[in-house]
Amino acid sequence: MAGSSHGHTPAAWTGVTIAFIGFCVAGAFMVMAQPVGFWAGMAIVLLGGVVGAVMRAMGLGQPKESRPLPHNAPAVTREPVAAES
């Protein structure tokens, strides 16, 4: 996978950053034994996923690769090219 740009998009960075902040908030409130704060942090984690998905839908994510042809579609073949000497 060398040269892959998987995850290096504004949508991915933003979603993961928000989710990380939510994880830290939830962890801090869990240590302090505050269930409401823990669940608020978990809501922030989910918000990170929603924000990332919305940004991807806006075109700020990884572009989708071309889809494979359906099984009933004719296959495109290339003729062999003769080597020139």
Tokens 């928000």 -> residue: 18
pLDDT of residue 39: 97
Instruction: List pLDDT tens digits, range 33-76.
Output: 999 999 999 999 999 999 999 998 888 888 777 555 556 656 66
Identify the pLDDT of residue 75. 60
Is the full-model pTM beyond 0.85? no
Task: Quote the pLDDT of residue 67.
Answer: 53
pLDDT digits (tens, 9 = 90+) for 2-11: 455 566 888 8
Domain ranges for the chain, please list them: 33-59
- Segments in the chain forming alpha helices (H): 10-31, 35-55
Query: Which two tokens mark 22?
Result: 């939510």
